[in-house]
Amino acid sequence: MHHFQYQNDQMYCEDLPIQQIAQEVGTPFYLYSHATLKRHFNAFYNAFDGVDRLVCYSAKANTNQAILNLFAQLGGGLDIVSGGELYRGLQAGFEPDKIVYSGVGKRVDEIDYALKSGILMFNIESLEELEIINQRASHFNTVAPVAIRVNPDVDPKTHPYISTGLKKNKFGIDIVSALLGYKAARKLDHIEIKGVDCHIGSQITDVQPFKDTLASLKNLIDELREIGISIRYLDMGGGLGITYDDETPPAPDEYAQSIIQSLKGSSLKLILEPGRVIVGNAGILVAQVLYTKIGETKNFVITDVGMNDLMRPALYDAFHAIKPVTQTQDTAIVADIVGPICETSDFMARDRKIARVYRGDLLAVMSAGAYSFTMSSNYCSRPKCAEVMVKGDRFHVIRKRQAVEDLCAGESVPGFLDER
């Protein structure tokens, strides 16, 4: 359940009509429900009741400071993949020792920043990275806590662009090489082995790939124990999917039980990195219809939301339900719902059945809380849109809309252009 519901044909976010917010804020804008965010985080955390665990929200799903701050207040940790996400997380109030750093391409300055900050651990993605982190820890006369990200060669049965656990993917180290990596790490003076890490993909709608992954990781942990390497943390990553269209992903309770049962009798502390499952259905994108084109063979609804605002349909051909903010009894049409960008891939939906809409009408693009604003850009010199959070009958602009003046920030014209 989420808190975007109709009352008297008007869509509300919690106790506020979305039409009212649009009149005050303008369009387009992302809209998040505080109640949904809080409930989803708590539901995920409580699903693992009785297990020693740390829920590290995956920052890349949505990095707005208000959302990060909420999860920090709820006692969560943070999964990051860049120095920028580390900065955002610290600014939002996360404790450094609840932050895990993943990602295949950590720069030296980012490694240094994380070492100085005192994060919980680095999830190592290559043996060369392990060497570099050891060198940087030596430079600061400290010890770097690490886990090795294992690639278990498990098919998560998701979109190939968001599959990360197969041998052909760039992420992690295969099981055999990981064992060698742990042996090498044990010999490094400035490395402390803390855990084993794995993340097999995103938008996964079946628990079996998680079970298969856990079986591989347990075997590795047993082998490590036999050679005297003790593991404290098991980082299972994230990836649990949500319903966009007709998917039937497992509920957090079902997902949790599949993991808990496999870990019975273990003293490992579990790290979980949910992102989409917490924020995905907690947000929508509100668009305004600019024009309609009703043709002999094709209809178009042209809105003020472009692929620069919502990249997922163009990038993954991803499905988002699209609903009118004001329900009517008008006859439905089939149309492409598109934006103003000069690309044929600039669409939110193609050949979608939708109630007949007119210039000025508002549309709600559902399930837009994850991998939406974080992937937005200024393509075609379009300012990034606003973000809004609702709590009860109040709303707050948690990111103001970019002004056109902001588009040129940081740019300069060199003097040599005036030379003759």
Q: Which residues are catalytic?
A: 342
The whole-angstrom separation of Cα 263 and Cα 412 is 57
| Cβ–Cβ under 8 Å, residues 95 and 54 | no
β-strand partners of 195: 147, 233
From start to end of 263-420, where are the E strands?
269-272, 283-294, 299-303, 322-324, 332-338, 347-355, 362-365, 386-391, 394-399
SS3 state at 105: coil
Angle at 372 between CA 370 and CA 373, to 5 degrees: 110
Q: Where are the alpha helices (DSSP H) in 236-346?
A: 252-262, 276-279, 312-316
Long-range contacts of 126-133 (CB under 8 A, 24+ apart): 126/173, 127/173, 127/177, 127/180, 127/181, 127/184, 130/181, 130/184, 130/185, 130/188, 130/191, 131/188, 132/108, 133/106, 133/191
Please name which of 177, 161, 56 lies closest in space to residue 371, comparing C-alpha atoms. 161
Please name which of 313, 279, 308 lies closest in space to residue 376, comparing C-alpha atoms. 308
Q: Which amino acid is present at 192?
A: E
Q: Which amino acid is present at 45?
A: Y
The whole-angstrom separation of Cα 143 and Cα 127 is 17
Please name which of 24, 18, 23, 29 lies closest in space to residue 402, comparing C-alpha atoms. 29
| Cβ–Cβ under 8 Å, residues 300 and 368 | no
